[in-house]
Structure 1
Amino acid sequence: MRTLVALLACWGLPLGHVGATSNAGYDDIRWEHLVPKDWDPSAQFKGMDFSKLQDGDPKATELLASLKSAWDAAPAEPSMQGRKIRLPGFLLPLDSSESLKTFLLVPYFGACIHSPPPPANQIVQVVLDKPVKGFRTMDPVWVMGTMEIFRSDSPWGGVGYRLKGVKVETFKP
């Protein structure tokens, strides 16, 4: 039960406030821009009283599986296809090499490693033109590049987008 409540709570924790200004031809976007306006993963839970569920309750386990399934199938926002963006997030390397060329970008600290993964439309696979050094797991970063809708599974959760990155820089929330 606590896991289900934590998942629902994490859904509302995007990283900081970001304006919709332009930076060198790249639009600054927020994580909520990656979610279609008509998608509501909690719709199936409206009117439910979670206070009566206990950890280990089969109904809680069933609801958690249902939520995970909805999050893994989370739709991408079509308007993001081909858009040049700049997005803040937390870096999650996909390999252990010193230089990074491919990593996941997630909206909040600890996503995928200290808590369940967010919906697929809140996980972005970043593929850089050139590898970068000096970044570690969960470093806050800005990433600039061209967004594409992309479905994939990773060891850390379902991926809904790929960002063909051209620049990574430190983000100070």
Structure 2
Amino acid sequence: MLCRALLLLTMLTAPLLVCAEPKEVDWLDLLPAEDYQAMLDMPELDHGNGNGPDANGDFTTSLRQEDNKLPAVMYSTTVVAEMDQQQIKIGGYPVPIESDANGRYTQFFLVPYAGACIHVPPPPPNQIILVNYPAGMDLSDIYQPLWIEGVLRVSQTSNQLADASYELDADQVGLYDGP
């Protein structure tokens, strides 16, 4: 009788064990309301002429902000706490960090726009996600947007290249197919 009850309970709860589809989020979902408003109120930024030290796209300098003329929101590490531990899907552009022995990238930053640190000011830390992807992938074109799926965590990360306020362990990485 106990076995039948356990079997029935398992059959009734099995659909609940199926993982839910990741929630598709936008970069604005990662911005606290006060940072969003500060960005709306911000004056137009000078994007330079593409002749800076990273104009060749080799990331010899970093995503770190070094222009003290930028508004404080461009340095913000303030996060949306409710995003912690969420299964998400987000589109963005990769900035390579670490690769495996086969040259496949296993760690990279994901940023909301192409060319971060090459031709335009980098995004603030709360608009940079450190992505861990042990399966690795080819990142031969950093201007090709990606879809990333996985669990997002609020996690302040700092290395020579950038500061990030979020981290994501990717379950899936693929080419972006949206608008």
TM-score (norm 2): 0.65
- In structure 1, the partner of 2:148 is 143
- In structure 1, the partner of 2:27 is 31
* Cα RMSD for the two superposed structures: 2.7
Find the residue that maps to 1:121 and give its secondary structure. helix
- In structure 1, the partner of 2:7 is none
- In structure 2, the partner of 1:74 is 77
Aligned ranges for residues 53-132 of structure 1 at < 5 Å? Answer: 65=68, 67=70, 69-95=72-98, 98-132=103-137
Q: Any stretches of 5+ residues in structure 1 without a counterpart?
A: 1-22, 51-63
Find the residue that maps to 1:67 and give its secondary structure. coil
- Aligned residues of 2:85 and 2:153 also touching (Cα < 8 A): yes
Find the residue that maps to 2:136 and give its secondary structure. strand
TM-score (norm 1): 0.67
1:93-132, Cα deviation, whole Å (9 max, x unpaired): 0136620110010101111222221111111000014222
Find the residue that maps to 1:65 and give its secondary structure. coil
Identity, in percent, stands at: 26
1:69-88, Cα deviation, whole Å (9 max, x unpaired): 54223311111100000000
When Rg is computed on C-alpha atoms for both structures, the one with the higher figure is 2
- In structure 1, the partner of 2:38 is 41
Q: Any stretches of 5+ residues in structure 2 without a counterpart?
A: 1-18, 46-66
